[in-house]
């Protein structure tokens, strides 16, 4: 109690000192403000906070509103951070493709640094040899089409559990968001940790906190070069360190058990006696053949990456798809008719992975879901060199933000952009080739988990639509559903989805 009072008054004193220092330096800051970006269109800035007052959660919505006034490339001063916000496919291409090797670093934040072991994971590691090495290991061992196919039985098993649990609650209101999240996290857990998949719930909690806080959670992220702001962030840092210690305990346990089992049985810990991702990482660590040697922290950072990348993105995409489908019953009926026809033609009683390839309309439904609800609503990059972009000189000390969410809804590029119309993709498969559509990013840092992610979305969605007819609970109006997003590293719906399922009899 006494220590809390002391800590609080220390914080208050620091806050006053901080405000005075900021006031004192405000003029100096104004002069040096935005060197290299000051020619860009920009809203008027206030002292100290710059344009922070114009940005609310989720930031991509505010950025879109501002870009309608200031154009497709603009400068925002967000506290002590210079951000260049890009909202057109043409300029996105300049950043992500034409200048790809330059725009390959990611912004930093205190939460990312602490949670992801000082950026020795894949997603936040600076561009270079180490990043290439770790990305290659994961791409080959967990995320390749062959590996993804080999996890088919795990997916099938977990999706059957999901269907069974919905069936048990048929006719009642269920929290579909929670059920789907639990299914995708089990798939990732079993694929990455094999038989030693435990403490899943605690891990999930930490992943969610990491993803929520990763986008910037403290005053030190807003004023990164201020020593005082860093001092004032001690409470957040202490909380993050506490969470990191919990993460360490879980991941250390998983790694230790893998090591013991490997020694005792001479076999991998994968569910079929094969190697899982932890085994592979341990093997390459022990081989001593890596150009950039790795230790336990590297393994833990990458495991947390896979868990974070593989869980919330897929479950949230299924959640958005189901939300859009209950709001657009004619689309739901068309998707169900296709799935039920394909299963009937095969003479089956449920969807198998081989059916999914034939579900052309379901593919369009997923593409349209990712257009309106991209998981990476914002792609943030830090340039490694100054470059001219769209006629402006963009220096190294800025964060360049590609507003994917805004590009995906721009009426200049999409007909009736706010409507959910899967048919718009009927004649074009544009993933990776068209800068109007960036659900998996683009360039060297594009998502390496597309095949894994797609499989984790398509089969569960097909099974949910095949086995059940879906309705909103009595009295809930589909058009009144809250379609706002959370802000964080992924983009979930702000509210859980509650639906009533009735069993489909073929
Ligand atoms: C529907 C599913 C998914 C979506 C929508 C998605 C989306 C994205 C996006 C937008 C990025 C940023 C790309 C960029 O900066 O250009 C990304 C990066 C990444 N994703 Fe995914 N993702 C999905 C599934 C997965 C899965 C299943 C995994 C792994 C198990 C994964 C692992 C990663 C990793 C490691 C990165 C960082 C890559 C790097 O920085 O080199 N993702 N993802």
Q: What is the reported pLDDT for 293?
A: 95
- Centre of ligand 1 to C-alpha 71, Å, is 28
Q: What is the reported pLDDT for 433?
A: 86
Residues of the chain where predicted confidence (pLDDT) is lower than 50:
1-35
- Centre of ligand 1 to C-alpha 233, Å, is 29
Nearest atom within ligand 1 for CA of residue 438: 10
Ligand 1 contact via 376 beta carbon (within 6 Å): yes
Ligand 1 contact via 124 beta carbon (within 6 Å): no
Ligand 1 contact via 107 beta carbon (within 6 Å): no
Could you give the count of Cα atoms lying within 13 Å of 442 in the half-sphere of its Cβ? 23
Q: What is the reported pLDDT for 430?
A: 84
Q: What is the reported pLDDT for 19?
A: 45
Ligand 1 contact via 203 beta carbon (within 6 Å): no
Residue of 217, 215, 200, 240 whose CA lies nearest to 485: 215
- Centre of ligand 1 to C-alpha 375, Å, is 9
Nearest atom within ligand 1 for CA of residue 125: 40
Residue of 213, 246, 243, 217 whose CA lies nearest to 232: 217
Give the residue extent of every domain in the chain. Answer: 33-503
Q: What is the reported pLDDT for 215?
A: 67
- Centre of ligand 1 to C-alpha 309, Å, is 6
- Centre of ligand 1 to C-alpha 303, Å, is 14
Q: For the segment 269-324, what is each residue's pLDDT rounded down to a tens digit?
A: 888 778 888 999 999 999 888 999 999 999 999 998 888 888 999 999 999 999 99
- Centre of ligand 1 to C-alpha 62, Å, is 24
Ligand 1 contact via 306 beta carbon (within 6 Å): yes
Probe residue for ligand 1, chosen from 107, 367, 447 as the CB with the greatest number of ligand atoms within 8 Å: 447
Probe residue for ligand 1, chosen from 449, 461, 490 as the CB with the greatest number of ligand atoms within 8 Å: 449
Q: What is the reported pLDDT for 197?
A: 75
Nearest 5°: phi and psi at 314?
Answer: -70, -45
Q: Tokens representing 92?
A: 């996105």
Question: Which CATH number does 33-503 carry?
Answer: 1.10.630.10
Q: What is the reported pLDDT for 53?
A: 96
Q: What is the reported pLDDT for 217?
A: 62
B/e letters for 147-172, b = 16+ CB within 10 Å, e = fewer, are bbebbeebbbebbeebbeebeeeeee
Q: What is the reported pLDDT for 337?
A: 98
- For residue 402, the surrounding DSSP H or E stretch is strand 399-403
Q: What is the reported pLDDT for 23?
A: 44
Q: For the segment 207-225, what is each residue's pLDDT rounded down to a tens digit?
A: 888 877 766 667 888 888 8
Look at residue 103 and give its three-state secondary structure.
Answer: coil
Residue of 186, 157, 188, 162 whose CA lies nearest to 175: 162
User: Tokens 């950026």 — which residue?
Assistant: 119
Ligand 1 contact via 314 beta carbon (within 6 Å): yes
């Amino acid at each position: 109690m006494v220590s809390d009072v002391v800590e609080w008054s220390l914080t208050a004193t620091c806050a006053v000192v901080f405000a005075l220092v900021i006031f004192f330096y405000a003029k100096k800051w104004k002069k040096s403000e935005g060197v290299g970006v000051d020619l860009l269109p920009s809203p008027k800035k206030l002292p100290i906070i710059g344009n922070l007052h114009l940005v609310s959660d989720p930031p991509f919505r505010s950025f879109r509103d501002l870009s309608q006034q200031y154009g497709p490339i603009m400068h925002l001063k967000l506290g002590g951070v210079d951000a260049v916000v890009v909202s057109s496919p043409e300029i996105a291409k300049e950043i992500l493709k034409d200048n790809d090797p330059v725009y390959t670093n990611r912004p930093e934040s205190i939460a990312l640094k602490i949670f992801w072991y000082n950026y020795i994971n894949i997603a936040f590691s600076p561009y270079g040899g180490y990043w290439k090495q770790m990305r290659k290991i994961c791409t080959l061992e967990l995320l390749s089409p062959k590996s993804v196919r080999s996890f088919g039985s795990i997916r099938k098993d977990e999706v059957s559990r999901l269907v069974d649990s919905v069936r048990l609650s048929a006719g009642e209101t269920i929290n579909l968001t929670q059920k789907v999240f639990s299914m995708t996290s089990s798939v990732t857990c079993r694929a990455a940790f094999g038989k030693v998949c435990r403490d899943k719930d605690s891990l999930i909690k930490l992943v969610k906190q990491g993803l929520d806080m990763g986008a910037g959670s403290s005053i030190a992220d807003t004023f990164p070069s201020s020593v005082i702001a860093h001092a004032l962030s001690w409470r957040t840092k202490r909380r993050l360190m506490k969470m990191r210690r919990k993460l360490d305990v879980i991941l250390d346990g998983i790694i230790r058990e893998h090591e013991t089992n490997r020694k005792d049985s001479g076999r991998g810990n994968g569910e079929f006696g094969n190697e899982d991702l932890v085994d592979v990482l341990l093997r390459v660590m022990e081989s001593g053949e890596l150009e950039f040697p790795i230790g336990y922290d590297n393994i833990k950072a990458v495991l947390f990456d896979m868990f974070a990348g593989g869980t919330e993105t897929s479950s949230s995409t299924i959640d958005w798809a189901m939300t859009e489908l209950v709001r657009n019953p004619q689309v739901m009926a068309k998707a169900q008719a296709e799935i039920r026809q394909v299963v009937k033609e095969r003479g089956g009683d449920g969807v198998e992975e081989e059916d999914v390839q034939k579900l052309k309309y379901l593919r369009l439904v997923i593409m349209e879901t990712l257009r309106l609800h991209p998981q990476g609503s914002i792609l943030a990059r830090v340039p490694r060199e100054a470059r001219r972009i769209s006629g402006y000189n963009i220096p190294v000390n800025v964060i360049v933000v590609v507003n994917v969410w805004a590009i995906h809804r721009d009426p200049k590029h999409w007909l009736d952009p706010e409507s959910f119309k899967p048919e718009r993709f009927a004649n074009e498969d544009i993933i990776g080739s068209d800068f109007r559509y960036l659900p998996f990013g683009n360039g060297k840092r594009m998502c390496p988990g597309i095949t894994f992610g797609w499989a984790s979305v398509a089969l569960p969605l097909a099974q949910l639509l095949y086995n059940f007819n879906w309705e909103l609970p009595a009295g809930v109006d589909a058009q009144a559903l809250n379609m706002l997003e959370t802000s964080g590293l992924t983009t979930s719906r702000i509210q859980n989805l509650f639906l009533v399922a009735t069993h489909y009899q073929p």
